[in-house]
Amino acid sequence: MSTLSSTVQITATSPAPAETALDAVPELVAAAVAAGQRWAATSRADRAGVLDAVADALDAAGDDLVPLAMAESHLPEGRLRGELQRTTFQLRLFGEVLREGAYLDVRVDHADPAWPMGAPRPDLRRTQVPLGPVVVFAAVNFPFAFSVAGGDTASALAAGCPVLLKAHPGHLRLSVATADVVRGALTAAGAPDDLFTLLVGDEAGRAALTDPGVQAGAFTGSTVGGRTLFDLATSRPVPIPFFGELGSVNPVFVTRAAAEARGPEIASQAVASFTLGVGQFCTKPGVLLVPEGSSVLEALRTAELPGAAPMLSDRMVSGHNRVRHELEELPHVSVLARSADGEDATPGPTVLLTDVASLLADVEELFRECFGPTLLVATYAGEADLLALAQAIDGQLTASVFGEESDVPALGELVTVLGTKAGRLLWNGWPTGVSVTYAQQHGGPYPATTAPSTTSVGTAAIDRFLRPVAFQGFPQALLPAELRDAAALPTRVDGTLQRPGATA
C-alpha cells in the first residue's frame, strides 16, 4: 500500500502539477504567518517530536519516492536512497539540537549595582526567537537533501519558522509527492495547519519572497538566479535576509612534494571527485593546480575516464556544454583528456589544461564554475604561484590543499589566505561529500553565498532563521521558559557558561 498521503497516487507519468495562482499567494502567506505564531509557541521538545515524525514518514515512503526521483532526476537508486537517508538523518539531528537547547545561546546577566563600567547593570536576559515565515527555493541536484524536506526546510522548522517551499521544476512530481508526505506527517503529529506549503512556479516563488508576511529566503542554485532573488529580497520596502548558495569553483592546490610522493593517486582521486554525480555537486573541484612536469599530468592524460552519463536535465547539459566550449576556445587552454560525448550532447568527462600564468592573466574567464564533468588543470612553476592565485580568486565554498608533512612550515601563508576566501578548507581531502554534523561549514564569501557568516549544512544552519531578543528587568512569569532562573539548558550566567548536571 502506498504511504503517500495524497488521495491520488503520483507516478512519473502523472500530469505535471499546475502552477500556484499568483492571487492565492497572499492567502497562503497569511496562513503561514498564523501557523508560525502557534509553531513558535510550541515547546522545543514537541517541535523535536514533530521533526522525528516527518523523518519517520519519509523513511516509510521511500519505496514510493525513490522511483519518482529516479525518473525525474536520472540519478541512480543507490545514490537516491543514500540521499533520502541523509535527509531524514538531518531532520532527526535538528530534533536533538532542539532538545539540547544550546542553539538559543541563552545569556543571563543578573542586576549588579557595582558593575565596573561606572553605572549599575540591569537584569538582562537574552535568547533567540524565530524570524517568521521562510520561503525556501529547492535545489535540483539533490532531490531530497536540498529540496522539499531538505536542510533549509529542516533547519527553518527547527528554528520555529513556517516554510513556503518553492518546488524546483526539475522534479515537480517528486516535490508534490514529498510535500504530501511532509504535510501528512505534520498533521498527524499535531503541528499547526499550514506550517508547510508547497509553491509551484517561478512567479509564485517571487511573489512569496516579496510578500510582507515573509521574513527570510533560502536558496541553492545558480549565481544568476540566486542574485536575482537576493536583489528582490533586499529591495523590498522592508528588506529581509536572503541565504543563497550560488556556486563555487572549489580549487585544489597540490604541492610539489605531494605530487612527487603520490601523483598517480592524486590524479585518480581527482577523476573520482570531479565526475561524482556527473560533476553536478556545488562542491565539485573545478580547478586543480599541479607543478609543471608533474606525474599528475601524465596520470590524468592516460586515465580511464567514465563515459557520458545523463545529467539532471537538458538545461544542465546545455549550460555545461556552453561553459566548457567557452573554456576550450580560450588561448592557452587545451584538452588533456576526454571521454566521448553522447549522441544527444550529453557530455563526457573532460580534463582541460592551462597554466597559472594564463589563469592569473584572465581570472574572470578561466576561473569559473563549469557545472558538470569538466576539470581545468593549471600547471605552476613555483610554490609562489599558488599563493598568487589564492590571492586573486573570489569567494568559494571550499579550497583544498594536498601536501606532505615537509610542506607544513611553508604553507602557513597560503592557508591563511585561503581562509579569507573559502568557508571550508581541506587538507589532503576532496570537497565532494559534505557531512551533516555539528562543525560543518557550507558557505563562503560572495559569490559562493550571499551570507558568508552562515552555513546551509550542519546544525549551525538553524542560526539563519533566528534573531536575538533581550529582556530587561522582566518578572519571571513573563519571560520565555529558557530565560527563567534554573532553566535546564546550557546558559551563560553572569559571563560563565553553565551546563545542566555539570559538576565543578
User: Which string of DSSP letters, residue by residue, matches 350-412?
Assistant: EEEEEEHHHHHHTHHHHS----SSEEEEEEESSHHHHHHHHHH---EEEEEEE--GGGGGG-H
The pLDDT score that the predictor gives to residue 500 is 79
Confidence tier at 7 by pLDDT (50, 70, 90): very low
In the chain, the percentage of residues whose pLDDT exceeds 90 is: 94
Rounded CA separation 32/193 (Å): 8
**What pLDDT shows up at residue 12?**
76
Q: Which of 139-153, 165-179, 483-497 has the lowest mean pLDDT?
A: 483-497
Active-site positions? 245, 282
How far lies 251's CA from each of 167, 214, 377, 435, in Å? Answer: 31, 36, 10, 19
Q: Give me the mean pLDDT over the 325-339 stretch.
A: 97
Residue 6: what pLDDT?
44
Look at residue 14 in the predicted model and tell me its pLDDT.
85
- 339, 300 in Cβ contact below 8 A? no
Which residues is 112 bridged to in the sheet? 121
pLDDT at 182 exceeding the cut of 60: yes
- The grid cell for 7 is 488521495
The secondary structure of residue 343, as a DSSP letter, is T
pLDDT of residue 354: 98
CA distance 209 to 45: 30
Q: CA separation (Å) from 420 to 56, 357, 399? A: 40, 22, 11
Can you tell me the mean pLDDT for 405-428? Answer: 98
CA dist 375 and 324 (Å) reads 9
Element of type H or E holding 268: helix 256-275
Residue 486: its pLDDT value, please? 80
Sign, CA torsion 447/449/453/459 = negative
Which of 223, 227, 218 is closest to 246 using CA atoms? 223
Q: Write down all domains in the chain, each with its CATH number in brackets.
A: 24-246+452-465 (3.40.605.10), 252-427 (3.40.309.10)
| Cis before 373 (ω within 30) | no
173: nearest Cα among 291, 66, 252, 24:
66
For residue 7, give the DSSP letter: S
- Is beta strand 491-493 parallel, antiparallel or unpaired with respect to 496-498? antiparallel
Q: Which residue has the cell 557558561?
A: 497
- Please say if the pLDDT value at position 498 is more than 80: yes
Give the pLDDT mean for 348-365. Answer: 97
In whole numbers, what is the pLDDT of the chain averaged over residues?
95
Q: What is the pLDDT of residue 501?
A: 59
Of 137, 144, 127, 187, residue with least CA distance to 167: 137
Which of the four pLDDT bands, split at 50, 70 and 90, describes residue 5? very low
Give me the amino acid identity at 5: S
Q: Residue 423 in 3-state DSSP?
A: strand
Pairing label, strands 396-402, 252-254? parallel
Q: What is the pTM of this model?
A: 0.95
**How many Å apart are CA 349 and CA 364, to the nearest integer?**
23
Give the three cell numbers for residue 148: 522539499
pLDDT digits 0-9 by tens, 111-125: 999 999 999 999 999
Task: Give the per-residue pLDDT at 10.
Answer: 83
User: For 53-83, how does the pLDDT look when each residue is reduced to its tens digit (9 = 90+)?
Assistant: 999 999 999 999 999 999 999 999 999 999 9
Residue 401 has a pLDDT of 98
For 142-188, what is the HEC assignment? CCCCCCCCCHHHHHHHHHCCCEEEECCHHHHHHHHHHHHHHHHHHHH
The C-alpha R_g of the chain, in whole angstroms, comes to 25
